[in-house]
Amino acid sequence: MRRLSAVVVGASAGGFRALSQLLSSLSENFPVPVVIVQHLSPESMNLSVAQLDRICRLEVKECDDKEPLLPGKVYIAPPNYHLLLEPDHTIGLSVDPKVNYSRPSIDVMFETAAEAYGDELAAVVLTGANNDGTMGCLKIKNFGGLVIVQDPATAEAETMPKSVIDNVGADYIIPLNEIGKLLNKLAEENPNG
């Protein structure tokens, strides 16, 4: 049985609606941290954090540098910073150059998460209009992690989920409204609670 210690989520075009649906379906005692990169313009105020916090049973917050990842909390990358998951399970923020024209980059978060959590990681790729997340999913698979992709037919922009399916493959390709239920089930099945 797979142990789940963290969930990472990448979203781009159409991401706010997708994240709203996903996060509102997570159980109130969801036992692992959820870390999100949503592509935003560098100048944007991260207003989605407060909106998502209102509809989610878990606390949703914009993350801080060196912040420890705690079970049952949702962390969102601030605009114009890469979010890295460190080996000691804290958050790192960086202003390194953009990756795939994006900062924050989904690939950067996914690749560092793969190194930090190995086979205890689940990655979720949601709607998006580019291929950010594909290389990160490849690394997650190589480290034994789980890749869950929104069925492109249910995505506002299918390019990002389709790129992962075509170039990496996925453990699950499911409609958006099934992803939260799957994560709840995987978390409930955690060995030793």
Residues labelled catalytic: 12, 39, 132
Closest to 23 measured CA to CA, from 54, 2, 44, 46: 54
* CA distances (Å), origin 119, targets 10, 139, 173: 18, 11, 19
Q: Tally the C-alpha atoms within 13 A of residue 137's C-alpha that lie toward its C-beta.
A: 27
Q: Decide: residue 24, CB within 10 A, 0-12 exposed, 13-18 middle, 19+ buried.
A: middle
Cβ neighbours of 28 (radius 10 Å): 8
